[in-house]
Chains A and B, each alone.
Chain A
Amino acid sequence: MSDKNTTVITGAGISGVHAAESLRKGGYQGRIVLMDRDRQMPYDRPPLSKEWITGEVDESSVLLRDPAIYEKLDIDLKLGVEVTDIDSVRKTIDTKDGSSYEWEKLMLATGSTLRTLSIAGDDLQGIFYLRRMADAIAMKQHIEHVKDAVIIGAGFIGAELASSLSQLGIKVTIVEMASYPMENIVGREVSEYFLDLHRRNGVDVITEDSVTQFNGETTVEEAVTAEGRRIPCQAVIIGVGVSPNTEVSHPQLEVEGGYAVNEYGETSVPDIYAAGDCTSWPYHGSPIHVEHWDHAVNHAKTVAQNMIQPQSVPYTYTPYFWSEQHGSRFQYFGHAKRWSKTVLRGSIESNTFTNFYLNDQNIVQAAFISNQSKNALPVRRMIQQQKAIDPDALADESVALKKMQRRLI
């Protein structure tokens, strides 16, 4: 195969698919090869822990695009293909099946990899991780006859699955190592709110403990913890986080908490770009790494524009994620590794509030919104503007967020 007029995208998740589509819609005339090691048609991951597992939507509705779209946009989809080598001089990419593709531009959209645990007895049936569609299908089949489930990790995946499984009538116990789940992201108050929300909805949450052993004949029957708890269960789901998938490597490719890219999505190797979960990228001047659907979409779209017209559009999106648990909708904007103070607008007791994370100059760095979607767009603008704000006004629900921003400008 000799075709220099080709862009290869490795990874057909949310980033890869949006990149391919944006290249074509942006006027790219060359060949587009979109490859993934998964054999499934590209699908959307967020529903897997929510409406797909509860049976509210079927398999076809989680597809990212109608399969006919790829042909229509002349995107050459290669599924079940694993990358083995990149040559940046010859500009080729080799795959496990012995194929080699030439490229003029390459995009790494490899997403993230699950963190795994090694626990005695983890070869028993009924123990799952959730990342791919295949995991989700196997889990869904298994839990049909399950009464008690243990979820390891109270992060967003664990929390969403706890909610979904409870909805299906399964008694769920979450085992979490930390005292306050996700405290580093949302702070103590919101973390306590999460714990309370789970408990009010019948989910047992055990904190400051970890599972050290699974017992059972062929299928898991109980989980044993470091503190000596024995929790009967017929299913276990492990959700202890993900890390950037940077398996596709090259000696000159800089990796630092993900493929390091600049504001245009360029890696340290000319003509190799990266987007989404697998990257670390500059946000307000410092490199950050996020694993959010919204980022994966928008980063890929922007990077694709820069692949067509080099360094034409810097990426400036505000990080965002949402979650749905026990009938509540959560939205989080921005990025704050630390903050000087938090400001609560609304009341946690009423389940309807927005919690702001401010730096020492009273600039809102991030905000967590619970069941107040009306605040979403004004909050996003507030974080984009990066201007100091009066914390008292922020806490006062009689002062409209929109008006506060007008005053700022």
Chain B
Amino acid sequence: MQHSEGTNPALDDSYIYVCPSSELEEDDLIECEIGTETIVVGRGEGNVYAAQGICTHAYSELVDGELDGTCLTCPLHFACFDIRDGSVLEGPAETPLRIYKAIEADGSVWVSNERG
């Protein structure tokens, strides 16, 4: 794991580095781990968001799905979630995704282990 130099007041110890901002383009998804939890990070409508990386319906990694605007689609049974708040937009999932805080600072994307 690599940390940028200097400290940004927006970043506390709960944040981990994900990738350079330039590597996460619009509609891109990337996966990272916080502790034992798999997190999916995406850029939708310009902003970065982070959510639990495994679908709440059946075991499937959401990083293999697609982000279209703020709608995150699972590649196994095509459940759709709003990546901003985790809410279910389309079944078969019934449970929302857990959302984590994600920010851009110092030209990088950071995700917090605290819930968003």
Do A and B originate from a single complex?
yes
- Listed in ascending order, the chain A residues whose CB lies under 8 Å from chain B are 294, 297, 322, 329, 331, 373-374, 376-377
A377 to B74, CA, bound (A): 9
Chain A residues, Cβ within 8 Å of B77: 294, 322
Q: Closest residue of chain B to A44, judged by CB?
A: B92
Partner of B60, one of A294, A297, A373: A373
B97 to chain A, nearest CB (A): 17
State whether the Cβ of B64 lies closer than 8 Å to any Cβ in chain A.
yes
Whole-angstrom distance between the alpha carbons of A373 and B40 in the complex?
15
Min distance, Cβ A378 to any Cβ of chain B, angstroms: 8
Report A-chain residues with C-beta under 8 Å of the C-beta of B92.
297
Shortest Cβ gap from B68 to chain A (Å): 9
A10 to chain B, nearest CB (A): 22
B69 within 8 A of A: no
> Does B61 sit within 8 A of A, measured CB to CB?
yes
Give the contacting residue for A377; candidates B61, B75, B91; CB below 8 A.
Answer: B75
Which single residue of chain B is at the shortest CB-CB distance from A294?
B77
Q: How far is the CB of B31 from chain A (nearest CB, A)?
A: 11
Residue of chain B at shortest CB distance from A320: B78
Q: Which residues of B contact A377 (CB under 8 A)?
A: 65-66, 73, 75, 78
Pick the 6 closest A-B CB pairs, nearest first. Answer: A373-B64, A376-B75, A373-B75, A374-B64, A377-B66, A377-B75
Which chain B residues in 44-102 approach chain A with CB under 8 Å?
A: 60-61, 64-66, 73, 75-78, 91-92
A174 to chain B, nearest CB (A): 25
Could you tell me the distance between the alpha carbons of A329 and B61 in the complex, rounded to whole angstroms? 12
Query: In the assembled complex, how far is the CB of residue B11 from the closest CB belonging to chain A, in whole angstroms?
Result: 31
The answer to whether B66 touches A373, judged by C-beta atoms less than 8 angstroms apart, is no
The size bracket of the interface on B is: 10 to 19
A294 to B90 alpha-carbon distance, docked (Å): 13
Report the minimum CB–CB distance from B114 to chain A (whole Å): 29
Q: Chain B residues with Cβ under 8 A from A322's Cβ?
A: 76-77
A25 to B: closest C-beta gap in Å: 10
Q: Chain A residues near B64: list those with CB within 8 A.
A: 373-374, 376
Q: Cα distance A329–B64 when bound, in Å? A: 13
Q: A374-B75, A377-B78 are in contact. List 17 more A-B contacts (CB 8 A).
A: A294-B77, A294-B78, A297-B92, A329-B76, A331-B75, A331-B76, A373-B61, A373-B64, A373-B65, A373-B75, A374-B64, A376-B64, A376-B65, A376-B75, A376-B76, A377-B65, A377-B73
List residues of chain A with CB within 8 A of the CB of B78. 294, 377
- 26 example contacts (A-B, Cβ-Cβ < 8 A) are as follows A294-B77, A294-B78, A297-B91, A297-B92, A322-B76, A322-B77, A329-B76, A331-B75, A331-B76, A373-B60, A373-B61, A373-B64, A373-B65, A373-B75, A373-B76, A374-B64, A374-B75, A376-B64, A376-B65, A376-B75, A376-B76, A377-B65, A377-B66, A377-B73, A377-B75, A377-B78
**A373 neighbours in B (Cβ, 8 Å):** 60-61, 64-65, 75-76
Residues of chain A within 8 A (CB-CB) of B60 are: 373
Cα(A16)–Cα(B66), bound, Å: 29
- Give A14's nearest chain B residue, CB to CB: B92
Interface centre among B60, B73, B78 (most CB of A within 10 A): B78
* A42 nearest CB across to chain B (Å): 14
Closest chain B residue, CB of each to CB of A297: B92
Residues of B within 8 A of A297 (CB): 91-92
In the bound assembly, the distance between CA atoms of A329 and B75 in angstroms comes to 12
Separation of A374 and B60 alpha carbons in the complex (Å): 11
Q: Residue on A with the closest CB to B27? A: A402
Give the docked Cα–Cα distance between A373 and B60 (Å). 9
Residue of B nearest to A322 (CB): B76
Per the bound structure, the CA–CA distance linking A294 and B60 in Å amounts to 16
CA distance A1 to B66 in the complex (A): 50
**B96–chain A nearest beta-carbon distance, Å:** 16
| Cβ distance A65 to chain B, nearest Cβ, rounded Å | 9
Note all chain A residues with C-beta closer than 8 A to B75. 331, 373-374, 376-377
Complex: A376 Cα to B60 Cα, angstroms: 12
Distance between Cα atoms of A203 and B78 in the complex (Å) = 32
A26 → B minimal CB distance (Å): 14
**In the complex, chain A residues whose CB is within 8 Å of the CB of B66:** 377
Q: Could you say which residues of chain A place their CB within 8 Å of the CB of B91?
A: 297
A57 to chain B, nearest CB (A): 10
**Could you tell me the distance in whole angstroms from the C-beta of A48 to the nearest C-beta in chain B?**
14
A374: chain B residues at CB < 8 Å are 64, 75
When C-beta atoms are compared, the residue in chain B nearest to A18 turns out to be B91
Q: Which residue on A lies nearest to B63, using beta carbons?
A: A374
Interface residues of B in 17-63 (CB under 8 A from A): 60-61
